Structure 1
Amino acid sequence: MTDAITFKPYPTRPTISVVLPIYTDTAMTIACIESALPNIIAHPHAILVLVNDASPEADMATTLAQIVARYPEHVVLLTNEQNLGFVGSVNRGMQYQVTHDVVLLNSDVIVANDWLERLQREIYRYENAATMTPLSNNTTICTFPDFLQDNVIPFDLSVAQIDAVFATSTYACVDAPTGVGFCMYIKRSALNAVGYFDEAAFGRGYGEENDFCQRAIAQGLVNYITPNLYVYHQGGVSFGEEKQQLIENACKIIDQRYPSYHADVQKFIAADPLRPARLYQMAKLIASFDLPKVLHISHGMGGGVDQHIEELSAILSTDAAHLLLVPHDDKGGATLSLSTSRQADRLYFQLPEQIDNLHEILRQLGITLIHYHHTFQCSSDLFVLPKILDLPYQITIHDYYLLGGNPTLSDETGVYPGYFDETLENPLYPYPKNMTRESFRATHRELLEQADRVIFPSQAARQIFGDIYHLPHVIIAYHAEPERKVTQSVKPIMKKTRYQVGILGAVSREKGADFLEAVAVYAKKSQYPIDFIILGYGYKTLKNVNTTGPYVRDELLQLMQHHDIDMIFFPARWPETYSYTLSYALHAQLPIFAPNVGAFPERLSGRDWTQLFNYLGAPENTADALWHFIQSGGQVDTIDTSTVQANFYQTNYLSLSLSPKSSLNIIPEQLFNIDAKPKFILKSGEKSAVWLWKIYTHPKMRWVNYVIPFSVRRAVKRLLSRQPIHDLVKKHDK
């Protein structure tokens, strides 16, 4: 990946006009100017051209005039008598000095260090370059660290700190179908060959740089992205509320002018040539700062475990770096993500063959603490990481898998009998191949018993887990949930002619799907005015129960409001160790009807308009009790929760971590095994979506754009799959 090309000296550095179009947000604009000016002033041949596009803000003109007065040799102010729009302002700035190279800089960008010097140096590495764009946090194909995402700045570092790490590299720049105009260098020779931006077509902004870059390609020039420079881009400030309409209009024009453009962009995204550089830069960034570095190990199967890891990482995002190691199959494959984000770049290892590589990368990154969340499908090589790396570690018990392979302690009917039964077996949860209960526990015994901490998310979980393992260092701590208020007062059920009873999430047998169906059937037979609705889905179609389908968890509160839910019913048949869906119900301030098992009693302790029912009782009795609760309410008895450590994650979680050490050593790139990829299996709908996309993007099929509206094409794609098309194409092609 490291570029062997040496920097080409040029006798006289071309003069640069840094063009900054300005409309609103005086404070952000000033921050941009103050970040850019030091290196503009330091550059022997550069000026800053401010273009005030008739800003409506009263203090904008005065503030800009003061800057010009302070730096008359370095700053020029052009003021439009009337608003020309973004493209008109950019063109005016580019034409101010018709011999200068140009750097376009949006007013919502923060640059640092010797940014201009390096950006110019990068573009002049390539004689055929028309444009050069750096990496940033929120710039579509140029984003870092997570591709195509709106990223927060990692670890609460400054732009200068991150860019200083980028400045140590000389990775090859990447040929792209377009540059991105937030911070884009344009050679004057390219402007002379291609012309200025198309003001008539893109006057208000969006799409103008894509059009320019496509015209440059037609002239035999290349648009490059450099992974050796980082800037911050807030995004959207320049265009405000009209952004979406501008994007849609620009897409139509680009599609008409350059029929292969969107296919080329998707090919670029699927190939993702910047991935190696992003991984190297992120690894260097993690290694170079004095922060605790936590390696989370889990099953990677979603659900509450993944949610806990993501939210814990978010809570401590400024206090520690968080990495994630999960199996990607049951044959020894493992995936290392350099953050816990779902969109994070990943490294793939085949264990045990590549375990030494994994060990060395973790050493070089400076991991200071290991946190096991689940071991399902994990290679046993991962169990000895603390010993190999000489690191402290802790384990969170998210379910009961470690007792004997059955995470719910349920029998073949999906019901927990009320106690842990050594003889109980559930065919849904067989032991790993060639293992018995005894050998399964032996595999995990040392890992559990020698842990520096074993964390239980409820008192009930600790009690049920029992003493099969000797656990000398136990912590009971509820999951940290800063985004949800779980102790709010309850809104009572108001008298109505019919009541909407909500059930949350993916309802399996263990979550009570069959029991819920029996309750709903009896309630209808008894003519209770109750409608049962799963905000989510069941493992099968349930009689007398409506479903809304899968949802993004951030939408759950809105779903409850949209469906006018009066109360929440939890029909769970196993002792949940925590229950995030319960947290959402608590945050919604809704009455709750829950089973008297697992974490429910203690988490609902003393709560008004809340009732526990006998989860082993008959569904008819439960339906009667539910109807009585709707009419009369109830309150849960208070339970002693004194063994629960409050605010543990905020105050004590990182206390086990070793003292972090920074390293400026370059991690050997051969350790990263960049080309290793797991095999993916696409579902039938996903395959159909990919083939439709390939047909649609074929040059001879571009007429589809004009015959079938975009909204229809999008609806068909979403019907087939909700995953981004570039992800599906990438998986298909692999």
Structure 2
Amino acid sequence: MKKILQTVAILITNVSGGGTVRHAKEIAHAWSMQECRVLYIEVTDSITQVHFLKKGVIVKEYLFVDDEDGKRLKQLLQAYHVQLLHVEHLFNAPTYFLSLHKKLEIPLAIVMHDYYMICPFIKLTYEDESYCGEKGTDACQQCLARRNFVYGASGTRVLDIYKWRKMWEEYLKGAALVVVPSRDMEKRVRKYYPNIHLRMIENPELIPVKSQVKQIGLIGALSKAKGGRKVKECLDYCAANHLKLHFVLFGTLPDIVLNEDENKYITILGPYEEETIYSQIPRYLIDFFWFPGIWPETYSYTLTIPVRLGIPCISTNLGAIASRIQEHHWGKTYPWQYGAAQIIQELTDFPYAQYKNPNFEIQNTSFGCIEEYYEGISILEVNDCCHEHVPASDNINQLTGTYAKKEFHLLWHLAHGREKLHLLWHIDRKWVIDAVKRRISRSFVKKI
């Protein structure tokens, strides 16, 4: 029987890493392996890259620079007879993306990976990256007035949380499907958008694993919101009290500076690779993993790693990590407001051995059938993908603009030979001068 859904466009803007990009790339690959043509669209400021996938392989690529109002992107999607626009994130997206599905006259599916459509600061946190407590609209309005948030697409400062949420509510209302990855996030989003129909679909875990493990493990880039400062406080407490605990961090502590005594209590291994982390962890004999985050995460791929290895976990009682641990009996949680002494007591008393049970099994290991994922969406049938009137991709040697920061680095990465020389003539001089003044010329030169 002929598939009705033959071509899907997957869109992500101004997100360069983390679970959102992973999910976007994995779902693009999964759909393309199910005989569906996929146009994977990555937007970085004024640069739009489109990758055409068939059976898991990129067979064609397009580059649009300074695509005014997305005219060429729209033309490309029409030429490929795209039947559904699937949005993974619209961080700092030009406003024309909000009406792209309407211009194409196709249904819209949205995956909410975080709280950007509720809070422009994404994580529901204060300036110090601790959980704000969601104390009501007035508190949100005061927070927005106190902090300087500029919507990158328009360059205008956002001062009214009501207008911000109204804009995204209207966008969500226009979607045929809105997906959230956890029950915890579903409950939180419903408080703000009670009239939006949400479907909870946990992110599948596609990495094959082994098992076995001992000590206290930490994982990921632990910013302050993800508990980095709490880790430092606990290390200080351990050093002051000469405790017999040691932490192994499969990741980093950005913006956190440890002193000599604190460093004795932790081994920091740096960023990990998905392909090797499962064989790396058993070598350190981890007893259990600690997730010290102080904001309500919407999902966490990092939690899956110790779970797949059968290693119990302990976390703060906030967000999807806590709800998944509690729901599946993978460990326990403690109040997110706890200080160092209380946290260390929780870690010391944690009866991790009793949590090593059959519940440490993740069965959600694929995206399933594409028709089931988009079930209920009315898809317009097309005859074939005839590629009529496909707009020409930009040639880097013909670019005339001035480029800096992420745009320049991306173009430099895409450029070859003489194209790099051409780019150097179009680099933003002010940016270079500022880089030199801030003594980052060495890293700048290294990148180019």
Greater relative contact order (Cα 8 A, min sep 6): structure 1 or 2?
Answer: 2
Q: Which residue of 2 aligns with 1:462?
A: 186
Instruction: Give, in whole Å, the separation in 2 of the partners of 1:409 and 1:589.
Output: 31
Kindly report which structure 2 residues correspond to 1:427-438, keeping only aligned pairs within 5 A, or say none: 430-432=149-151, 433-436=156-159, 437-438=161-162
- Mapped pair 1:312 → 2:27: yes
Distance 1:380 1:608, change over 3 A: closer
- Mapped pair 1:367 → 2:82: yes
1:448 to 172, 177, 180: 172
Instruction: Give, in whole Å, the separation in 2 of the partners of 1:680 and 1:343.
Output: 29
Distance 1:439 1:606, change over 3 A: closer
User: Deviation per CA, 1:54-100, whole angstroms, max 9, x where unpaired?
Assistant: xxxxxxxxxxxxxxxxxxxxxxxxxxxxxxxxxxxxxxxxxxxxxxx
Whether the 8 Å CA contact 1:312–1:480 is kept in 2: the answer is: no
Instruction: Give, in whole Å, the separation in 1 of the partners of 2:240 and 2:68.
Output: 59
User: Deviation per CA, 1:182-208, whole angstroms, max 9, x where unpaired?
Assistant: xxxxxxxxxxxxxxxxxxxxxxxxxxx
2:287 to 560, 566, 569: 566
- Mapped pair 1:476 → 2:200: yes
- Mapped pair 1:500 → 2:223: no
Distance 1:429 1:334, change over 3 A: farther
Unaligned runs of 5+ in 2: 411-416, 419-441
Instruction: Give, in whole Å, the separation in 2 of the partners of 1:445 and 1:538.
Output: 35
Instruction: Give, in whole Å, the separation in 2 of the partners of 1:418 and 1:635.
Output: 32
**One-letter code aligned to 1:415:** S
Instruction: Give, in whole Å, the separation in 2 of the partners of 1:532 and 1:428.
Output: 35
Distance 1:293 1:377, change over 3 A: same
Identity across matched positions, percent: 21
- Mapped pair 1:387 → 2:107: no
Instruction: Give, in whole Å, the separation in 1 of the partners of 2:27 and 2:197.
Output: 21
Instruction: Give, in whole Å, the separation in 2 of the partners of 1:420 and 1:402.
Output: 17
**One-letter code aligned to 2:207:** E
Instruction: Give, in whole Å, the separation in 2 of the partners of 1:511 and 1:309.
Output: 22
Kindly report which structure 2 residues correspond to 1:199-218, keeping only aligned pairs within 5 A, or say none: none
Q: Which residue of 1 aligns with 2:436?
A: none
1:328 to 32, 44, 53: 44
Secondary structure at the aligned position of 1:374 is classed as: strand
Q: Which residue of 1 aligns with 2:163?
A: 439
Instruction: Give, in whole Å, the separation in 2 of the partners of 1:291 and 1:594.
Output: 41
Distance 1:666 1:609, change over 3 A: closer
Unaligned runs of 5+ in 1: 1-288, 494-498, 639-644, 687-692, 695-719, 722-727
2:336 to 615, 636, 639: 615
Kindly report which structure 2 residues correspond to 1:142-157, keeping only aligned pairs within 5 A, or say none: none
- Mapped pair 1:514 → 2:235: no
Kindly report which structure 2 residues correspond to 1:273-422, keeping only aligned pairs within 5 A, or say none: 292-299=6-13, 300-319=15-34, 320-329=36-45, 332-339=46-53, 345-352=61-68, 355-422=70-137
Instruction: Give, in whole Å, the separation in 2 of the partners of 1:610 and 1:580.
Output: 16
Instruction: Give, in whole Å, the separation in 2 of the partners of 1:516 and 1:573.
Output: 11
Q: Which residue of 2 aligns with 1:132?
A: none
Whether the 8 Å CA contact 1:395–1:454 is kept in 2: the answer is: yes
Instruction: Give, in whole Å, the separation in 1 of the partners of 2:335 and 2:354.
Output: 17
User: Deviation per CA, 1:545-571, whole angstroms, max 9, x where unpaired?
Assistant: 331112322222122123332221111
Q: Which residue of 2 aligns with 1:583?
A: 304
Kindly report which structure 2 residues correspond to 1:66-215, keeping only aligned pairs within 5 A, or say none: none
Q: Please state how far the C-alpha of 1:302 moved relative to its aligned partner.
A: 1.1
Distance 1:521 1:428, change over 3 A: farther
Instruction: Give, in whole Å, the separation in 2 of the partners of 1:521 and 1:504.
Output: 19
Comparing 291-300 with 472-481, greater Cα deviation is found at 291-300
Distance 1:463 1:606, change over 3 A: closer
Q: Please state how far the C-alpha of 1:518 moved relative to its aligned partner.
A: 1.0
Q: Please state how far the C-alpha of 1:672 moved relative to its aligned partner.
A: 3.0
**One-letter code aligned to 1:654:** Y
Distance 1:310 1:326, change over 3 A: closer
Distance 1:632 1:361, change over 3 A: closer
Whether the 8 Å CA contact 2:148–2:157 is kept in 1: the answer is: no
User: Deviation per CA, 1:642-688, whole angstroms, max 9, x where unpaired?
Assistant: xxx998753611333625535464544544334476846499x99xx
- Mapped pair 1:537 → 2:257: no
Whether the 8 Å CA contact 2:47–2:65 is kept in 1: the answer is: yes
- Mapped pair 1:596 → 2:317: yes
Whether the 8 Å CA contact 1:557–1:588 is kept in 2: the answer is: yes
TM score, norm. by length of structure 2 = 0.75
Distance 1:670 1:321, change over 3 A: closer
Instruction: Give, in whole Å, the separation in 2 of the partners of 1:632 and 1:646.
Output: 26
Secondary structure at the aligned position of 1:418 is classed as: coil
**One-letter code aligned to 2:252:** Y
How many equivalent pairs are there?
386
Instruction: Give, in whole Å, the separation in 2 of the partners of 1:666 and 1:297.
Output: 19
Instruction: Give, in whole Å, the separation in 2 of the partners of 1:325 and 1:576.
Output: 25
Instruction: Give, in whole Å, the separation in 1 of the partners of 2:75 and 2:351.
Output: 59
Distance 1:519 1:389, change over 3 A: same
**One-letter code aligned to 2:37:** A
Instruction: Give, in whole Å, the separation in 1 of the partners of 2:348 and 2:328.
Output: 19
Instruction: Give, in whole Å, the separation in 1 of the partners of 2:356 and 2:394.
Output: 57
TM score, norm. by length of structure 1 = 0.47
Whether the 8 Å CA contact 2:223–2:253 is kept in 1: the answer is: yes
